[in-house]
Amino acid sequence: MQKKTHIKKGDLVKVLSGVARGKQGRVLEVDRERMRALVEGLNMQKKHSKPTTATPQGGIVEKEGPIHISNLMLVDPKSGEPTRVGRKVEGDALVRYSKRTGEVIK
């Protein structure tokens, strides 16, 4: 069963806890099964790669590691502050809105 999340790919989020606390970044990918997200430029991890045709040198590659969704909070597009997210029906579509300003997100 896939759970609902308060963030989506492309959202600007702020990290609430952990090593990257207080930093902001765009969500690259959301894994709803594991409840984790990849945030651009945050939680960087080093991965050793063997030489391939694409990378003949091989070496150490840095890539983003997953962060649990409970440690992320959506940044309000209007005020630039972190906000909680609500859902409401507008017309015949379910939309997300900022609990801080009441503005619809995307």
Q: What is the DSSP letter of 48?
A: E
- What confidence score (pLDDT) does residue 106 get? 79
Cα separation of 42 and 21, whole Å?
Answer: 10
Query: Which pLDDT belongs to residue 55?
Result: 84
∠ Cα 66 33 95 (to 5°):
95
Contact predicate 28/39, CB 8 Å: yes
pTM of whole model > 0.75?
Answer: yes
Q: What is the pLDDT of residue 83?
A: 94
- The reported pLDDT for the residue numbered 42 is 94
pLDDT tens for residues 18-29?
889 999 999 999
Spans of the chain, pLDDT less than 70: none
Residue by residue, what is the 3-state secondary structure of the chain?
A: CCCCCCCCCCCEEEECCCCCCCCEEEEEEEECCCCEEEECCCCEEEEEECCCCCCCCCEEEEEECEEEHHHEEEECCCCCCECCEEEEEECCEEEEEECCCCCEEC
